Amino acid sequence: MNIAFAEIQETIRMVQMESLDIRTVTMGISLKDCIDADFDQMNEKVFNKITSYAGQLTSVAEQVEKEYGIPIINKRISITPAAELLGNATKEQAVQLAVTLDKAARTLGVDFIGGYSALVHKGITKGEQTLLDALPEALSKTERVCGSVSVATTRTGINMDAVKQMGEIIKEASNLTKEQDGLACAKLVVFCNPVEDNPFMAGAFHGTGEGEAVINVGVSGPGVVLNALKKYPDADLGEVSDVIKKTAFKITRAGELIGRVVADRLNIPFGIMDLSLAPTNAMNDSVAEILEEIGLERVGTHGTIAALALMNDAVKKGGAMASSYVGGLSGAFIPVSEDNGMIKGIEDKALTLPKLEAMTCVCSVGLDMIALSGDASPSSLSGLIADEMAIGMINKKTTAVRVIPVPGKKEGDMVEFGGLLGRAPVMGINPYSSDKFISRGGRVPAPLQALIN
């Protein structure tokens, strides 16, 4: 990969002045060969394989960070969906597997390990049900383990039995970590149309179509895009799109370079480059502020969805021109607790939960890091999930739900999660019941869009 000197100079400026960073270098590891009828043997194989393959991940990433001067914020691991390993295991053994994964992550010094997951969008196997039963306890007993559950796809429809369970699981996980404001829920994502090569947490898992191991990279630069747009205050929207596209191109080039260097030194194939504008609570590192720079007085007002659609499309186009291996989710994330502009929009009553739902029609993922009032019922949470899954199913895109019902908190309260997870104003949920709809169960049939052969 050839990088011109001028590109290097510009990258240094973006790092120093505009908060450009490599958000994550994620190693995907297949654990299929760890499957064993003897659970203790399987558990040991899992720990040994993860620590063997990723033994140098942190040290190599830190070395590359120093050499190239581009911050690598997180070092992470994703694994084969853990439900595929469980077979006839008990719930207690499934929790033990999560503890083993957590131990491996701590041993390696990685931030998170994703893939405590199940793909149940059409049905639920015995091993998958065991993992679902174990999820609340597993996530509450571990610090670095992240879980995800696929309950819908465009090709299969929505598994409403799984949706019902997920509302109950989220509520239980919240209650088990009530002393930490329901923090376990911040490590759990419910998906429609999940991708197999996502490097971002909490939804990363090493898909069944992936190889033995791979390095996937997630790069982020909302501050870079915001700074670029500030130079063109009077540009029309076509020119705005072009500015974002060109900026995304530069960010992608820098990210792929770092990813390939890390992969080469670890002697593991480079997979994909996920260019996702993922905000942080740092100043001027906000997706909402980009939308406001485009022309909105406050995110959430009329025009928000159009501005977000423009930005998301331009990011994807710029990334696709820069690399043949753009993958993952690639676009714009809208995690409330991690974006100061989103928080401000909620505090000013410009941004509401229904508006956030509508924004997920055009952004990269879905309802993300949203704190909800502690009295939200399991069926209301399931209804929220069902709505989001329907958006993904009909629009043939990835959507997700990562919400945190905060025990003892009500609408208008502020919750501090700390670190990268940030802080969030608690949002209220519709008081009317979804009980009967959710209790019907069954499957929402796949839409006409699924018939593409």
- CA-based angle 216:115:149, to the nearest 5? 120
* Predicted TM-score of the model (pTM): 0.92
Are both 27-192 and 216-444 of the same fold?
yes
DSSP codes joined into one string, 108-162 = HT-SEEEEEEEE-SS---HHHHHHHHHHHHHHHH-SSEEEEEEEEETTTEEEHHH
| pLDDT recorded at residue 250 | 84
Annotation: CATH topology of 27-192: Anaerobic Ribonucleotide-triphosphate Reductase Large Chain (3.20.70)
Q: What's the Cα-to-Cα distance from 100 to each of 44, 96, 401, rounded to whole Å?
A: 8, 6, 26
Amino acid identity of 24? Answer: T
CB distance 103 to 51 below 8 Å: no
Q: What is the chain's percent helix, strand, coil content, to nearest 5?
A: 50, 20, 30
* CATH label, 216-444, candidates 3.30.420.40, 1.20.1560.10, 3.20.70.20, 1.10.10.10: 3.20.70.20
Amino acid identity of 392? Answer: G
Q: Where are the domains of the chain?
A: 27-192, 216-444
- CA-based angle 242:247:250, to the nearest 5? 130
Amino acid identity of 370? Answer: I
What are the mean pLDDT values of the chain's consecutive 10-residue runs (453 residues total)? 54 54 91 94 96 96 89 93 94 97 96 96 96 97 96 97 98 96 95 93 92 91 86 94 90 87 95 84 84 95 96 90 85 86 94 95 90 96 97 94 95 88 92 95 92 80
CA distance 230 to 234: 9
DSSP 411: T
DSSP 345: H
